[in-house]
Amino acid sequence: MDGMELCRQVRALDRGSYTYLLFTTAHASKRDFVDAVRAGADDWSCPDFPDAERSTYAPGVRTMGKQRRKYTDDFKRDAVRMMRNRGTRTVAEIADDLGVAPTILHRWAHVLDKDAVAKRNEEGETLEQEVRRLRKEVEQLKVEKAILKKAAAFFAKDSE
């Protein structure tokens, strides 16, 4: 199987997410380029094939740099929030609705999680340190509550 046939088969699959196909070759003929585009290639990399000729023979083909979209931090946070609160929907469905790949959503979630752990609160603690401290405080409060319960029961007996 050659690259052209592989490209046709990938395009024939209906996987729900888009696979970007880049042909890298030493073949510099216009015919090879046109065949690759017809097979479903998104871009073509060949040192001897000038970029100017791409638009002449396949006007719809753009380079990866031109297709890459920038997303705001707010959009990324909202997308991750949607992914985490998705209910019965799959990540692929959420990603499809947003026009991004599921792997991008997972990557954004990972980065946001790392950022949250690295942020520090007013006392200069990371999130993990704060959680550990608060858990210790909760345990101490549980002990104090148990002592007060016993004391209340003791004094209730004396008043009867």
Task: Return residue ranges of the chain for CATH 1.10.10.
Answer: 73-118
pLDDT, tens digit, 9 for 90 and up, residues 132-157: 989 999 999 999 999 999 988 888 88
Instruction: Tell me what pLDDT residue 33 has.
Output: 73
In the chain, the amino acid numbered 88 is T
pLDDT, tens digit, 9 for 90 and up, residues 47-98: 665 654 554 445 455 444 445 578 888 888 898 899 888 888 888 888 888 8
From the list 69, 80, 75, 70, the residue with the least C-alpha distance to 112 is 80
Task: Tell me, yes or no, if the pTM score tops 0.75.
Answer: no
Backbone angles phi, psi at 31, to 5 degrees: -60, -45
More confident residue, 100 or 52: 100
Q: Domain 73-118, what fold?
A: Arc Repressor Mutant, subunit A (1.10.10)
Instruction: Tell me what pLDDT residue 59 has.
Output: 47
